[in-house]
Structure 1
Amino acid sequence: MLFFRGFKPAVCWMFLLGALGFGQWVKAVQLATHESRESAAVARIELDAQERQWIAEHPMVIVASAQYPLYLFKDEHGHWSGLNNDVLNRISAMTGLRFVHEESFSTDQLLERLESGAADMSTTLAMNDERKVFLDFSHAFGGAGWVLVGLAGTPALQSLEQLSKRVLVLPARHALEGVIRRDYPAIELRSVKTYGEARALVESGEAYATIENEIGAQLYPSGRLKVGHAVEGKWEADHLTVRKGQPQLLSILNKALEAFPPAELRAMRLKWLNGIAPVHAPSAWQRITQWGCWSLFIVSLFGLLSLLWNRRLAALIKQRRDAEKDLNDQLAFQHALIDAMPDPMFVRDLEGRLIMCNKSYEERLSTRFDQVQGRQLIELDVLPKETAEQLHAEFMAQLGTHKTRFSERQLTFKDGVRDIYQWTVPFYSADGQLRGLLGGWSDIGKRTRQA
């Protein structure tokens, strides 16, 4: 009797944990049902006759896919997951396209499938001149920078100039390979199949550095590697890539991206790119192993150990949730703050490409951020050509002088000449490196009329 009396607390805790697990399972089922209902309620976009005919003739769109966490990867059940997969699922619900992934194991193999016509599109390719010869790129829907990755214990890598006469290892046909060969001939470039091989060569000392997407570089334990500075002026915009000769498919994808609710796209990016990885339920074998291990503990201490463990687990979960909430609140506040500014505001990088803007900027130039992100004024049709060329030249000159500029002037917009007060200010990184320009303008004529 004393034995069973001592075992009673353990049985109670096992029952409680089982009940909690069942509650979480019910909650997961409800969430999945809710998400499926939301997907079913997605409104279809309007397509023309040629686009509808193309979908009818192509019941499946073959997507050449290489695993690229957190953008696109296979989960423990072998199902494709990640940010880009969520985007494709949303586009599928909006258009009726059916996307089928075919796995590639290197960038080179992925490009070969697109060149040969074995695949129709991809989701993880960056844009460069070589690829634009045989590929079309959709509107951008996000992006990230490139970072230098070197060996721990060596000086932090700040620029490509530091790699002169050193070995830089990249996956074959990397997006930056052509630019580096052309602009930095002193760098000894070495090609391998995958990013994993490139990191291994840096760790072994056979190569001095490699270059990775800044998000992907943070996913792996540092070990003997160290993430350096961003490659200045090199921004990897997120595109859907389509093999040339399929204008209808490209048009359908662009229409879907244009109709994509901005709030939903921001939520997807926050879900995947802020370190929030999906939590998978443990398998049946893992649960049996856990209970088997726990049964080996002394029965008289099981209740106490379970109580301490659950208290600590609850504290860790609360701490993580609080941290995630604080981060989401900060991001929401930053977006709200810049969008609340009544005057147009923008941020441009060292090449004059747009990094950020507020709602007033979009309204004044009759455009959307996802259509102009990562592009220079001279590449767009939001201003008269002469005005765009004049402002771009001024931006580049100001980046050369590092001086601030405040001026009252007249500028020609699409709707006519305006009197404006314009300001542009260089901004710097924490280590004092120039990163771009922050600017905006006020409509003086409008202010005068209101006065």
Structure 2
Amino acid sequence: MLFYRGLKPALGWMLLFGLLGLMRCSLAAQLALHEEVAAFNVQPVELDARERQWIHENPRVTVASVQYPLYLFQDEHGQWSGLNNDVLKRVSAMTGLQFVHQESFSTDHLLERLESGAADISTTLAMSDERKVFLDFSHAFGGAGWVFVGHIGAPRVESFEQLAGRVVVLPARHALEDLIRRDFPLITVRSVKTYAEARALVESGEAYATIENEIGAQLYPLGLLRVGGLLEGKWEADHLAVRKGMPELLSILNKALEAFPATELRAIRLKWLEGVAPVPEQSIWQRMIEWGCWVMGGWSIFGLLSLVWNRRLTAVIKLRREAEKDLGDQLAFQHALIDSMPDPMFVRDLQGRLIMCNRSYEEALSVRQDQVQGRLLFEVDALPEATASMLHDEFMVQLRTRKSRFSKRQLQFKNGPREVYQWTVPFYSADGQLRGLLGGWTDITQRRTESGCRCPH
């Protein structure tokens, strides 16, 4: 009897923790249900006559869109998806506007389209003084901080002062580029096209650090990189950027965002970002509570071990199955993400043999992955022999030197010469061992043909 009377407090705590878990699941289910109901019961936003007339004359709004998982990206079916796309769908239902995505391939390219009037808005641009010259920004509907990303073998980057005399690599026309050049002249800023190129330069040691959105920094495996500190006082709010000269459109978007139900916006963000955002550091008081819970849990387990052993085994098996399912889902997502890339991409091992490729690679070279997997480039009839041998030799040199390569060049394909932007970067295992090459190319000739450009090559 004394034994079971001693178990009563432990059982009470276990019941309390169970109720808290059920409340959290119930809240998540309510948010998901609210999201489904809202999709069929959207109240139109109240607009004035001038705004309604503008929508009547301009029903389609062109969105300059760049691949930026999980905010905006194309899925395996080529359809645009992500957090920002869900927000646009809700705004469309509230206003009647039709949003048409127009893909861009870098931040610089996206800004050029907005400046030239080829596009009307963008959903992934951070606000900066340079951009406010030719863009207006809507009300914020979320946001995240900026973080430093440096090499794992270097001290953790916590502030701009640590970067004096160092090279910081950023995508061209980055929102923080002007601030760094103005306020920190001792830092050398190097511009590239994309965050992928910036990460590759930090991995190779050609740059000391880059700066990313904290969500984006946690999304991909870090490898030789590690996330540093947050930039104090610098917050990347989520806005809809509208090109100047469209006050009616800006007013319509702001009214829609003001009328956006907070619970629905929270549900959308949980849908895409839960589990990706970094966990905030705990306070001393939170740690003390956690330690106290661990101590009490230890005593409870010690007294209940003989009673709940079988149930614990069942729970462990269930957790393992869930973890395996989560891992399978992550691998499926990564494969789908690679396959959705419009440009050919491939991975080769230390001997130059193909490990995997995406669908664009198969279509560009008229091959199937199961035909060429495990084979060298010149062992398959996908490229002219001279081109295949030349590229294989370049791969071997890169693997020896461990240098990344980004170049605009002309290559001979089966169907004739093509002008391409080619990139190849070494990749490493979690313990820092070189594992092979990741690469791909953008067919500039094809892009010009598809866009109707008649400019000289």
Unaligned runs of 5+ in 1: 1-31, 278-309, 323-451
* Other-structure match for 1:246: 246
Paired residue for 1:256? 256
Q: Is contact 1:72-1:80 (8 Å) kept? A: yes
1:37-89: CA deviation from partner (whole Å, max 9, x where unpaired): 64232111111111111111112100000111111111111111111000000
How do 1:269-308 and structure 2 match up within 5 A? 269-275=269-275
- Aligned positions of 1:124-135 closer than 5 A: 124-135=124-135
Write out per-residue CA displacement over residues 178-213 of structure 1, whole angstroms, 9 at most, x where no aligned residue: 000000000011000000000000011100000000
Equivalent residue for 1:95?
Answer: 95
Cα distance in 2 between the residues matched to 1:74 and 1:55: 27
- Asked if the contact 1:72/1:82 (under 8 Å) is kept, the reply is yes
Matched with 2:349 is none
Q: What are the equivalent positions in structure 2 for 1:201-212 lying under 5 Å apart?
A: 201-212=201-212
Question: Aligned residue for 1:315?
Answer: 319
Kept in 2, the 8 Å contact 1:40–1:93? The answer is: no
Amino acid at match of 1:248: E
| Counterpart secondary structure, 2:44 | coil
Q: 1:9-48 residue pairs with structure 2 within 5 A? A: 38-48=38-48
Equivalent residues of 2:72, 2:81 under 8 A apart: yes
Matched, 1:213 2:213: yes
How many positions carry a matched residue from both structures? 259
Give 1:34 shift. Answer: 10
1:75 and 2:75 correspond:
yes
Q: Secondary structure at the match of 2:43?
A: coil
Distance 1:148 1:33, change over 3 A: closer
Write the letter of the residue equivalent to 2:159.
S
Q: CA RMSD in A?
A: 2.5
Three-state SS of the structure 1 residue aligned to 2:226 is strand
| Identity among equivalent pairs (%) | 73
1:147-162 matches, cutoff 5 A? 147-162=147-162
> Does residue 168 of the first structure (1) align with residue 172 of the second (2)?
no
| CA distance in 1 between partners of 2:34 and 2:132 (Å) | 40
TM score, norm. by length of structure 1: 0.55
State the one-letter code of the partner of 1:315: L
Residue 315 of structure 1: how far off its partner (Å):
3.0
Distance 1:124 1:243 in 2: 14
C-alpha distance in structure 2 between counterparts of 1:261 and 1:33, whole Å: 14
Alignment CA distance shift 1:314-1:106 (3 Å): same
TM-superposed CA distance for 1:271, in Å, is 1.3
Matched ranges for 1:47-62 at <5 A: 47-62=47-62
The residue identity in structure 1 corresponding to 2:272 is: W
Correspondence for 1:123: 123
1:218 counterpart SS class: helix
Secondary structure of the residue aligned to 1:125 is coil
Name the CA distance, whole Å, in 1 between partners of 2:177 and 2:276.
31
> 1:91 Cα deviation (Å)?
0.5
**Which aligned pairs between 1:273-422 and structure 2 lie closer than 5 A?**
273-275=273-275, 314-316=318-320, 318=322
Q: Does structure 1 retain, via aligned residues, the 8 Å contact 2:215–2:276?
A: no
Distance 2:69 2:236 in 1: 15
Alignment partner, residue 192 of structure 2: 192
TM-score by length of 2: 0.54
Describe the shift of the 1:35–1:148 C-alpha distance in structure 2 as closer, same or farther (beyond 3 A). Answer: closer
- Inter-CA distance 198–40: structure 2 relative to 1 (3 Å threshold): same
The 1-side partners of 2:152 and 2:249 are apart by 45
Q: What residue is the counterpart of 2:146 in the other structure?
A: 146
SS at match of 1:228: strand
Quick one: which amino acid aligns to residue 185 of structure 2? Answer: P
TM-aligned CA distance change 1:267 to 1:194, over 3 Å: same
Q: Which residue in the other structure is 1:268 paired with?
A: 268
Q: What is the CA-CA distance between 1:276 and the residue it aligns to? A: 6.8
Q: Is the 2:144–2:213 contact (alpha carbons within 8 Å) kept by the matching residues of 1?
A: yes
Instruction: Letter of the 2:85 partner, please give it.
Output: N
- 3-state SS of paired residue (2:219): coil
Aligned to 1:181: 181
